[in-house]
Every structure is written in structure tokens, then in C-alpha cells.
Structure 1
Amino acid sequence: MELGYKRRDGVVLDLGCEGPDGYVGWSGGARPHYVVSEGWATPGYLPTPVSPGTWKVLVGLHRVPPAGVGYRLTVRRATPAEVAAERDAQPEAPPVPERGPRRKLPDVDGMRWLAADFHAHTVHSDGALGIEELAALAVSRGLDALAVTDHNTTSHHAYLPLVGERYGIRLIPGQEVTTDRGHANALGDIGFVDFRNPGAQWQRDVEARGGVLSVNHPLATDCCWRMALDHPTAVAEVWHSSWHALPVLHNWGGPLAWWLSWDRETVPIGGSDFHAYGNDALPGAPTTWVLTDGDDVLGGVAAGRTAVSADPTGPVLLRLGDELLALGSDGLLLSGFDAGRRPVVGERAVLGGAGGPWWLEDDQMRVLAVCG
């Protein structure tokens, strides 16, 4: 299947597929064609038998000018050689890299802190790297866990266990449920969440299946959150890489203000939203620290045991009951909702911290770490 149109004046058409037995996949505006067969499909699509019945090409009107745009769809049967050529053109798996330094944080009641990133993309949507390449990059950055959250597809999920085992990292199945009214990450091995439904239905589906739904970059430019929900999500991407993308945003208080007004009990997580080298922050910028019981990363998130720092090695603020532990934070200021500011003295400082949220900032009010 191939979609052709004049890519000018900001026009973007998205592309997807639905077969006789249901949804097959999505590539959005990332590529103009796809191949589907029983043995293999273009990343973003599920391998599916080409069975008799009604097949639908899904065309999303992402950016269309008032005058409209003409497009052409070409659907034809691919030869086995063409399918093999598409498959062979996919990124090759790199060797397992040397692991980046693993930061040692204090265990709590037999649980340990793991370094995670809850937002990243691959060639299964609009990312530039294969799953293996992304895993290798995350390991080299010192991460213990990474959620792979391609847009409106779960085609990457089947590959994650073996890739994670090979590269020594927990790859968390995710889907960035994506519309022009907002994005949310559906985290967990919970199946496809249909982006064509209202946001409140996403929430109900994820909760019913035992997953975690996180509103993404709620203050982003053209994809900020503008959807009604039954109630505020229990988890949110409070810290997105765009927060520190430009010098002018280093002391931008918008994400904190949104968090405090959304729900102060919301569990904060962070996401790099990595797509490609030079295009986004690298995995782990920011880093979400999750206090885990064994390997249950999402269980730690659901229980609210998280903290977020700018990167794996920067200042970090951890909750220990009604106290806060600030590490690598000498000279920074501890601040909280309606709580003023207190100086942090020493590389390891224990401070009172009932309630929350809390964050660490410098003398320019640039936020460097947060916790609930």
C-alpha cells in the first residue's frame, strides 16, 4: 500500500490499516507505504494473513489546509521478493555495549531504585532506530528500564522480551496513544488501546486491563492535553525533555503549575521522547527513579515510588517516608507547594518532607529534581 500527496505548506496525512479481523497497525506520517503479510509486516504493523474480506486503508487528516489536499492510494499484492527486501532493509542489531555507570542509591525495605525512561520511539512509528539500537543506547546511558512507546501501535511488543534479555535492560511495553487533542502513554502488556475512542475510554480500557495511563507532555505546543477524562490520571509525564530543551525554558514553572493544579497526588514520571540522534534528548534525559520490588517497575510507578532527575548522574531527591534524601545537591534549594525554600547543605542531606510535591532548584529557579 502506498500513499502519495504533495508534501508542502505543512500538509501531513497519517497512514494506517485495518483488516477483516481488526486493527493491523499505524505508521502515521512517518512513511508513505507499508507491506503486510502473514510472516512479516512493515514495523508499525502486525504480521497478518491477507485473508478475504474488507480491508481498510486508514488516512488520518493530521495537517490539512483550508483548500484541502489531493492524494492517491495505491494498493497491490506484494511479491515474496518485495516482502523479503523490505524485511532485509530494517536496521541491523548492534553489539551489546558496555553498560554506562549504574548509580548506587540506598535500598529501602529490601527494594531498590532503578533508572528508567518512560517515553521513547523506534522505527515501529516515527523513530530512527530499531528496537535493538534503542536498547543498546539506553544501556550505554546507564538505564535499567525503558518504555518503548511507539505511536498507535503495539507491533513492537512481541520483540521486547528477547531484545531486553540480550541487552540486559527491562524493556517495558508501551503505546503512545496519539491524537491532535493530546497524547498519553498506555504502559504494560495490555494490548492495543484504540486512539479513535475518546480519552476517557482510553482511561477505562487501561485501568480495566491492569496497565498504567500517563498523560504526556501536557503543556506541549500543538499536542498539549485537551481531552476530558473521568478523573485525573494517577500518573503523568510531569517532566518531558522539552522542559529543558531551550535555555529560556530552564526556569519555566509551567509543568509544576500544571502538576499542582491537575492533582497533587499524581505520580510524576519523566520521558525523553527520544526519536533520533540530534532531534531529541537522549534516553535518560530526564531519568525516572523507581523504587522497585524485584523487577516490577510498573508496580513501583503505580505505588507512587518515583523521583525524577535531569539525567542519570545529576542531583536527585528521594522520598523516604516523611523525609527527603537529597543526593548530589549541595547548594541547591528545596522547594514545595506553599513551602518556601530551604538550602541543601552537603552532598547527602536528609530533610523533612511530609506532604508534597517537592523539588530541587538552583538560585535561578531552574528545577533539577522532583518527587511526589
Structure 2
Amino acid sequence: MSPAREVGPGRWRGRWTPEDRAASVWPTLPFEVGDGCPGLRVTLEHDRSHGSSGVVDLGLVDPLGWRGWSGGARSVLEVAPRGATPGYLDRGLPPGTWEVVLGLHRLPPEGLEVEVTVEQVVVEPPPQAPPGPPTERPPRRRLPAPAGLRWLATDLHAHSVHSDGVLTLDALAALAVSQGLDALWVTDHNTVSHHPHLEEVGARHGIRLLPGQEVTTADGHANALGDVGWVDFRRPAREWADHARGAGGLLSLNHPVAGDCAWRDPGGPLGGPPDLAEVWHGPWADPTHGGPLAWWAAAGQPVPVGGSDVHDPREQLPGTPTTWVLTEDDDVLGGLAAGRTAVSAGTAAPVLLRLGDELHTLGADGTQLVCADGRRTPVRGDRVVVTGHDGPHLLERDDRTLVALSS
């Protein structure tokens, strides 16, 4: 039984405990919306003195389905007849039963007092920041590729104001262009509210902004890549993969050994290896740390990718690392599905590319080529071509710092 009790019209209060979380991580509070509702404001309040040990997330369902998610990034959301807080779909105020969705992310042993208020009031559409001027792109890197194919500089993991990022889509696109990226997957947490805007914003800045979402739980994160519709993060992980693949997309496991966001395989196995694995995560504290590579080897070396996981450009920039995808007709998703990837520290950093039975190193003089079986070959020269090496490979420095990798 939920501890929430209604203490006034549209107002609930209760103390959620670890026992409540064990019963349901995502409790809901239903309320009714009638015809002509002028707007909604939902406010979540709880004791924040516990810091990271007391975190409650916020989301919303309307009569048409999932509306959006703030996670722990916002405590107030608004929905107007036209417009909504970023993270929430803009589709008006359909009458019927709505639900506030809470996420009991972390609770202290004594529990956490939570109060939720739903007000039916006039709300103004969120202000729209004017787009800035076009950004100058650095010269594109010319990489060797077979006829009819080309490498695109891509980042598979980025966040905007539609979840817990600080940048608007326009600002994120401009920054990605300045970093030399050709394509950027925008993967906000548990929402697709950013998807309708990506094509227009990308065209304005001369970059492909691609639709993704980071399916996010306390037990693991995964990027659903492609225009696959919203993936229900509350369902078992196997269903995330089935949903993404069934809709023509891919599922990538994110930062599998990254502290409290490590992959713990929630809900049981995926039903096979993941489509992609974020072997190189942007905020990797120490590139000599071999944990991600060890996990990758133990997982059977699924197609490797990298993602900056940019939230704030003061902490991480898009394209650090860069995932190079060998594409036909600039089809990034198709190149990923075919496993044609390479990962480098940035768009101008040393790269290791597979072209058929050849491995090409560029700008990697003084590194070592590391085979899947442990063999190591010194790289001498700015461009070196090696044959007879099957499977994924790494470039490392003598201190075992990862420089680049290739599928």
C-alpha cells in the first residue's frame, strides 16, 4: 500500500521507506483533468538534507501514454495547452486520468518525507532562446575508406535541457560542430521530447542530430538509438532490447563499470550480447584503468563505441571520445549495425581503422597495436598499415594508456 495520502485537492504527502521501494520503485499518483484545463504545474518536494542518499525522481503520464521525465534534474514541471517543460512532450492537455510518476532512486534507512502538488492553473509556454549564428566547422579529417563509403565523426551519448544537461539543443549542436563532429546522438534520460526538434536544429547548424534516449535505472543505463518511440525503462532490460531492435534501432550498454551507474543487468539477461557497448566513456577518470576493456572482453567484445556523455561543456565536450562510423550514404545507424566502428580520443586524435583485412593507424607513431590474443606490435610512423590481424584491436602507449580502438 502506498504511504501517500491526499492532504488536500491535488496534494499528497507520505514517507517512503526502503520497504516501499522494494515493493515498487516507481509509484504513481493519479489525478483527473477535465475539458478546458488551462495548464498543469506539478511540484515535488522532499527533504534534501540527505544529499545523494535521498533522491526522488519525477515524471508524468497522460491519457495518451508516457508524457515525460525530469528524473532528479527538476522539481517542478509545467504543461500548457501549447508547450511544456523540456523533457515533456508538447501535445496539449487531453482530458482523463493522468498520473504523477515518482522514481524512488535512493532512500535513507529512515525513509524520506515526500510531498507532491498538482495545480490546474494558467501556465506560460517555456521561453525559447533564439538560435545563435552558424558555427564555423574545423576542416574535416580525410580518412581512408573504400569506394562509396566514408567515415563520419560521431558521438553516441549527449544530453540537453530535455533531461539533466545544461545546453539547449541549438547550443549543443553548435558546440558539436565546433568540435568537428558530423553526427551527434542526443540521448536524454527516459524521454523522447527532444526528438521532434532534432532535424530542424541539426539542419540549422550543419550537423546530423540523431534520435536516441538513455534508458535509465538505478541498476544500469543503455542507449536506445533510432526513432524507436519511447522505451519503458520500468520494464525488464530484455524488453528494452526487443523494443529497440523491433523498431529498427539498436541498444548500446553505457559505461558498464562507471561507479554507481555501472551495468548490473537489471531484470535479467538481454537475451544475448548487446548490439553495442560503450567501451570508452567520456568521463573515464584514468585511461590506464583497464576495467572497461576487461568487461568488454568478458562480454564477448560486442561492437565497441564511445560516448562523451556531455552534460556540461565545462566538464566534458562532445566528441571526447569520437566514434568513427564507416557509412554508406551517411547512414550512421546502418554503419553501427554492420559493426564498422573505431573510437579515438577526439576528432583530431590518433585513429585505428579497419578496412577489410587491413588495419590502418594514423597519427599513432610510438604506440603499440594490441591484438585480442595479447600480441603487441610497435607502431613506427605517422601512417602504418598492418595485415593479418582479425578481430578488435587497441592502440596503447607504453604505460598502457588507451589511445584508440577498432572493431
Q: Sort the TM-score into its range (normalised by shorter chain).
A: over 0.9
Match of 2:295 among 255, 258, 283: 258
Check the 8 A contact 1:96/1:136 in 2, yes or no.
Answer: yes
Q: Does 1:8 align with 2:49?
A: yes
Q: 1:210 aligns with which of 248, 251, 259?
A: 248
Q: Which of 393, 396, 400 is residue 358 of structure 1 equivalent to? A: 393
Deviation at 1:250, TM superposition (A): 2.3
Q: How does 1:220-235 map to 2 (within 5 A)?
A: 220-227=258-265, 228-235=269-276
Whole-angstrom CA distance in 2 between matches of 1:58 and 1:287: 35
Identity score, percent = 56
Measured in 2, the distance between the counterparts of 1:353 and 1:35 equals 59
Q: Provide the C-alpha distance between the structure 2 equivalents of 1:353 and 1:178, rounded to a whole number of angstroms.
A: 40
| Corresponding residue of 1:143 | 181
Q: Which of the pair has more CA radius of gyration?
A: 2
Mapped to 2, the partners of 1:277 and 1:172 lie a distance apart of: 19
The 8 Å contact of residues 91 and 129 in structure 1, kept in 2 or not, is answered as no
Counterpart amino acid of 1:305? R
Q: Larger strand proportion, structure 1 or 2?
A: 2
Task: Please point out which of 270, 276, 281 is paired with 2:306.
Answer: 270
Shift of 1:318: 0.1
The CA deviation at 1:91 is 4.0
Secondary structure (helix, strand or coil) at the match of 2:97 reads coil
Instruction: Give the counterpart of 1:47 among 49, 71, 90.
Output: 90
State whether residues 371 and 389 of structure 2, in contact with CA within 8 Å, keep that contact through their aligned partners in structure 1: no
The alpha-carbon deviation at position 137 of structure 1 amounts to 0.1
Aligned AA for 1:263?
G
**Aligned pair 1:118/2:144, yes or no?**
no
Q: TM (normalized to structure 1)? A: 0.95
CA deviations 1:99-122 (Å, max 9, x no partner) are: 123211112121011100000000
Alignment partner of 2:283 out of 242, 253, 257 = 242
Task: Give the 3-state SS of the residue equivalent to 2:361 in structure 1.
Answer: strand
Moved more, 116-125 or 254-263: 254-263
TM-score, length-scaled by structure 2: 0.87
Q: Which structure 2 residue ranges, 5 or more long, are not aligned?
A: 1-41
Distance in 2 (CA, whole Å) between partners of 1:4 and 1:70 is: 8
CA distance in 1: counterparts of 2:129 and 2:337, whole angstroms: 34
Residue by residue over 1:98-151, the C-alpha shift from the partner in whole angstroms, topping out at 9 and shown as x without a partner, is: 112321111212101110000000000000000000000000000000000000
2-structure distance, mates of 1:182, 1:37: 33
Q: How big is the shift at 1:38?
A: 3.4
Gap regions ≥5 residues in structure 1: none
Displacement of 1:306: 0.6
Equivalent residue of 1:44, what SS?
coil
Give the aligned partner of residue 333 of structure 1: 368
Give the letter for the 1:351 counterpart. Answer: V
* Counterpart position of 1:109: 147
Aligned residues: 361
Deviations 1:321-360 (A, max 9, x none): 1110000011110002223211111101001253221000
Q: Distance in 1 between matches of 2:283 and 2:386?
A: 29
CA-atom RMSD, angstroms? 1.1
Residue 72 of structure 1 and its aligned partner are, at CA, apart by 1.2
Question: Is 2:152–2:330's contact at 8 Å kept on the other side of the alignment?
Answer: no
The residue matched to 2:104 in structure 1 has which SS? strand
